[in-house]
Amino acid sequence: MQINLKLNGKQELLNCEPSESLLNFLRQNRYWSVKHGCETGECGSCSVLLNGKLTPSCILLAAQVDGHQIETLESITERHKLHPIQEAFIDTGAIQCGYCTPAMILAAKELIRKNDTPTENQVKDALGSVLCRCTAYVKPIQAVL
């Protein structure tokens, strides 16, 4: 089947299987920042911005995003220049193994879009939707603040 969606700012008409998860659909279309994790919507590693809201892609079917807007980490880099959030993650040493980093950066982007001066508790809540076993969240929180 075909789905029509805005993917990383570009209108796309793409093929998918009716039972294909959004996670698998994105990875098959070479959006490698979207990571396989728990595949139950709990870990957040596969999160994307669906109409601007952080959403685990493993619990949605690709067909469900027909007519919607999806952003992956690939959307925030402009002309091979890092986004300020990416730079902050690097500068603070917030990147360890890197597996959860794409989803954390999207969580930060969603938060900052809503509130450009978030409190530490708001940052903790936003990043807490993405499980990380490496950083203990200290450095990612510093990066967003």
78 in a structural domain: no
DSSP assignment string, 60-73: SBGGGGTTSEEE-G
79 in a structural domain: no
Whether the Cβ atoms of residue 11 and residue 4 lie closer than 8 Å to each other: yes
Using left for φ > 0, alpha for ψ between -120 and 50, and beta otherwise, residue 92 falls in alpha
Half-sphere exposure of 116 (CA within 13 A, CB side): 1
Domain end residue (candidates: 40, 72, 104): 72
pTM score of the predicted model = 0.94
54 in a structural domain: yes
List the chain pLDDT tens, one digit each, 145 residues.
Answer: 999 999 999 999 999 999 999 999 999 999 999 999 999 999 999 999 999 999 999 999 999 999 999 999 999 987 789 999 999 999 999 988 889 999 999 999 999 999 999 999 999 999 999 999 888 899 999 999 9
Structure tokens, 64: 């469900």
At 26 the pLDDT is: 98
User: Could you list the residue range(s) of the whole structural domain that residue 60 is in?
Assistant: 2-72
User: In this structure, what CATH number is given to the domain that contains residue 123?
Assistant: 1.10.150.120
Query: H or E segment at 56?
Result: strand 53-56
110 in a structural domain: yes
Question: Nearest to residue 103, comparing CAs of 32, 40, 51?
Answer: 32
| Cα–Cα distance, 85 to 67 (Å, whole number) | 28
